[in-house]
Amino acid sequence: MKVIFTSLSFIACNLFLLGQTQIPNGGFENWGGNPSPGVTAEPTGWYSNKSGSSVAKLGPQICFQDQTVKHSGSSSVRVETLSYFGTAVNGAVTTGVINAPNTTKSNGYIGTVNYSSASDVRRTPFTGRPDSIVGWYQYTSGGSGEQGKVTAILHNNNYFDPETPTTYHADPTSDKIARATFFGSTSNIGSWTRFSAPFVYTSSSSPSYIMINITCSANQSTTITGSKMWVDDISFVYNTLSSINEYDLAKNAKVYYFDKNVYVSTKVSEPLTLELFDVTGRTVLTHTTESASATIDVSILKAGIYLYKLNGHGQSKFGKFLVE
């Protein structure tokens, strides 16, 4: 699936003229090469406490490359909440900086600027406006109430999570474009499970950057150790295009996959043509609906990501879905 993400970007641009931005190294295949000397247990473009602020670096290693438990490719990322002299250090990995202004857990935050060095700014360029973030995870709970969390924030300038209190960082709210947050199960998840979280947009502006934070302890002030979370194959879903007239098709038609069927529905009872493409760009199915809704059996499709093109009303709607 690591190659699939690259192929998807190529297909989207060449078949559909789509500009669907994806996150680099969302499959956690590449490790090492981050700026802090001696830090190799970090995925390229992602960071743990070992390259965080000066106090954050004091904690144990909480981010690991796992080449045994992986959804696809050669590795996944595993984060663990571990003890440091009796204090629970939240397992986390981020595209930003893990900041600990002091040893008080509630004062910690993740941001684009290193608290100990204002010249250390880590921002991942991202100009898309996706509908949701998706990926795969497994989870081992360290105790009652523990759960993993994945947060993605589209923003301009700098951003800090959580936004408040602003004692140790600036108020970032004016730079937020959208936020997506997934809370995992409080029970153990022993097999790869797909997660999805919609972006909630608070601004019509285009973002310049994205910050993604992954932690196996959603409660920032947790005192429980032992939680583990594996994450792999993060990507973004785009269901609409601003480059086409969205009046009828993009707003009134829905396409989604569930249990070996693709469902198409629209408010207008007029034939629509659905084309499905695999990641190589090959057409695998063409179907014309005869009414306002249709259920299409796609049980012959192999597991993977598929792109669709829905034609009707003189317009086209594009998107993708995952067959498990």
> What ranges do the domains of the chain cover?
21-237, 249-323
Give the largest Cα separation in the chain, rounded: 67
Give the 3-state secondary structure of residue 74.
coil
Output Rg (C-alpha) for the chain, integer angstroms. Answer: 21
- Domain 249-323 sits in CATH at 2.60.40.3080
**Is the distance from CB of 178 to CB of 207 less than 8 angstroms?**
yes
**Is the distance from CB of 134 to CB of 236 less than 8 angstroms?**
yes
The pLDDT assigned to 293 comes to: 77
Q: Is the peptide bond before 35 cis (omega within 30 degrees of 0)?
A: no
User: If pLDDT is split at 50, 70 and 90, which confidence band does 32 have?
Assistant: confident
Q: What is the pLDDT of residues 200-231, one digit of tens each?
A: 899 888 999 999 999 999 999 999 999 999 99
**Is the distance from CB of 259 to CB of 231 less than 8 angstroms?**
no
* Total residue length of the chain: 324
Average pLDDT of span 35-47: 74
Average pLDDT of span 103-128: 95
The predicted model scores a pTM of: 0.70
User: If pLDDT is split at 50, 70 and 90, which confidence band does 71 have?
Assistant: very high
Measured CA to CA, the distance from residue 231 to residue 138 in angstroms comes to: 7
Give the 3-state secondary structure of residue 254.
strand
Q: 107 pLDDT exceeds 80? A: yes
The pLDDT assigned to 4 comes to: 43
**Is the distance from CB of 278 to CB of 284 less than 8 angstroms?**
yes
Measured CA to CA, the distance from residue 97 to residue 51 in angstroms comes to: 7
In the sheet that 283-288 helps form, which strands lie side by side, from edge to edge? 283-288, 273-277, 304-312, 315-323
**Is the distance from CB of 228 to CB of 180 less than 8 angstroms?**
no
Class of the CATH-defined domain 21-237? mainly beta
Closest alpha carbon to 212 in 43, 93, 52: 93
Q: 17 pLDDT exceeds 50? A: no
**Is the distance from CB of 28 to CB of 43 less than 8 angstroms?**
yes
Q: Is the peptide bond before 162 cis (omega within 30 degrees of 0)?
A: yes
In DSSP notation, 87-131 reads EEE--EEESSEEE-SSS-GGG-EEESEETTEEEEE--EE-----S
Backbone angles phi, psi at 109, to 5 degrees: -160, 165
Q: What is the pLDDT of residues 120-170, one digit of tens each?
A: 999 999 999 998 899 999 999 999 999 999 999 999 999 999 999 999 999
